[in-house]
Structure 1
Amino acid sequence: MHVLDGVRERIDRGSVPLVALATYALALVAWVVLVERWLPMPATGVEAGLRMSDPGAPEALALANGPSGVGLYLLMWAVMMVAMMYPATVPLFRLYNGTVRGATTAERTARLGAFMGTYAFVWGLTGIVPLAVNRVVPVATVADERGTVLLGGALLVVAVYQLSAAKRRCLEYCRSPLGFLTEQYRPGVRGAVQLSGRFSVFCIGCCWALMGLMVVVGSMNLLWMAGITVVMSLERVVSWGDRLATATGLVAGVVGAGLLVMGGLPLAG
């Protein structure tokens, strides 16, 4: 019998609630850490009056403090990814746990830990992107001078990608991960790492535009973080998630175009 046979039945019987509880608990801890500002950050290098929740502020602070600043920023970003992405990934973690039910407790824990840890690690590495962007274009300065245009342009990028075929393909994998697990499953801890790494690519493909918006509005802006988390989670777990993705793209396009006009950037002529 294939190792994935009966996974759905096990989950439907509620045989693996601890995986969901542990995932939500980790996400909750990550949110508390972010809200309470428990993560260490360098204390020098930020312009006077610039708050951590302002666009480009954490990135500017990290880059101003060299390797130590970059390392602390990536730690912050990884915690943020756990807070934002873990709740929507509970179905995937439960499905994977169903594939290792026949293993010993130690082996099951190791493989599930490797699977969940790899997912967080890969998402944590995406923090390199906002740092690279800020190295080339100082977002804090641009936001201060042309914040309306910057936000409008970012929303148009979100709109274009939300309505694209690539978004639909990646979202389909994220909404229905059983097929991916069936096709790509590999045994052992190494297999868990490989499987999670491959799935993370589709997950990033699904959410990168919305995550990129965080760089523009402020990567430590908790209100935007919460709103984007809700959208990404609903896209992946509710029956009308695909329609929500389309609606989000349309709204982002309208608002983005409006902001560009307000900011004095002509869209035609």
Structure 2
Amino acid sequence: MSVERWRNHSEETMHVWNTSRRFFARQRHPVVLFTYGVALLAWILLATRVLPMPGSAMAMHMSAPGVPEAMALSNGVAGVGLYLVLWGAMMTAMMYPSSAHAFRAYADAVGQTTKVRRTATVVSVMGTYTLVWVLTGVVPLAFNLVVPIGSIAPENRVFLLAATLLVLSAYQLSPFKRHHLEHCRRPSGFFEGDVSGIRGALRSGWRLSVDSVGCCWALMALMVVVGSMNLLWMVAVTALISVEILAPDGERLARGIGALSGVAGVGLVVFAVV
């Protein structure tokens, strides 16, 4: 190895090392650790099936497409309420890992204040963010009123999955996705100006949640079609969302997901027709 190549290799190694060290140092921030702890608790609750759901005799089928929504809708207001609790736990488990850096950015933007005030405002941001994601659970319920995924024939389910993949592909490659993903990847822009106080925290949490939903709604739509409470799909989609938002090449990954989704959607249509 020449001296020049050795020097370049050493500089690249040091850059990777310094980047990794800064990344892990940021993870020790109290807000980040708290966010990860809440996400871990949500994963444990979901994995152990501790959270209640109407129709417990069908609990073994909860991961099947359309089943949680059908159970909720068949049990009236109580069923819808419990479904939204379960959906909220799912959103917390899936979205908090990639949102920890945004909550930390807000805590840093608050500036010099008392510990109590800082805690109250950070909790307000997290609460607003979580509430918006909980309310998105109304969408799969409404969709299942029109298209009962759990009861349609398997061949129609293939076309539904293909259509969802094509929608996901189109959105992943759209400027709307790029816009919201850019904001999610660099959330510090949300927290310029007066963000202190409960009102500033609520406003910041709202803006953060709107961009988060705008960034990830198509992936969540795929979750509903394949099974909204399917733990394996939850892990896979969580990993994709986290890498999109946190990885250096997240924008390129988002485009790659869009391209692969389009190919898979077309492939399913061809397979079903042939």
How does the TM-score come out when normalised to structure 1? Answer: 0.89
Unaligned runs of 5+ in 2: 1-22
- Confirm or deny that 1:32 pairs with 2:20: no
Q: Counterpart of 2:34?
A: 22
- Confirm or deny that 1:206 pairs with 2:218: no
Give distance in 1, aligned partners of 2:240 and 2:29: 24
Change (3 A) 1:15 1:146: closer
The question of whether the paired residues in 2 share the 8 Å contact of 1:62 and 1:72 is answered with yes
The question of whether the paired residues in 2 share the 8 Å contact of 1:27 and 1:83 is answered with yes
- Confirm or deny that 1:131 pairs with 2:133: no
Change (3 A) 1:161 1:109: same
The question of whether the paired residues in 2 share the 8 Å contact of 1:16 and 1:94 is answered with no
Give distance in 1, aligned partners of 2:142 and 2:26: 44
Deviation (angstroms), 1:198: 1.6
The question of whether the paired residues in 2 share the 8 Å contact of 1:44 and 1:65 is answered with no
The question of whether the paired residues in 2 share the 8 Å contact of 1:74 and 1:127 is answered with yes
Deviation (angstroms), 1:142: 2.4
Unaligned runs of 5+ in 1: 1-10
Q: Counterpart of 1:252?
A: 261
Change (3 A) 1:54 1:12: closer
Change (3 A) 1:45 1:133: farther
Report the residue type matching 2:196 in the other structure.
P
- Confirm or deny that 1:75 pairs with 2:110: no
The question of whether the paired residues in 2 share the 8 Å contact of 1:23 and 1:90 is answered with yes
Change (3 A) 1:219 1:53: same
Give distance in 2, aligned partners of 1:232 and 1:57: 24
Q: Counterpart of 2:6?
A: none
Report the residue type matching 1:194 in the other structure.
R
Give distance in 2, aligned partners of 1:217 and 1:234: 21
**What pairs up with 1:1-269 in 2 under 5 angstroms?**
17-43=29-55, 51-142=61-152, 144-182=154-192, 185-264=194-273
Deviation string for 1:125-164 (max 9, x for gaps)? 0000000000111111226452221111111110000000
How many percent of aligned residue pairs carry the same amino acid?
Answer: 50
Report the residue type matching 1:175 in the other structure.
R
Runs of 4+ in 1 over 6 A off after TM superposition: none
Change (3 A) 1:143 1:55: farther
> How many residues in Structure 1 have an aligned counterpart in Structure 2?
253
Report the residue type matching 1:69 in the other structure.
G
Higher helix share: 2
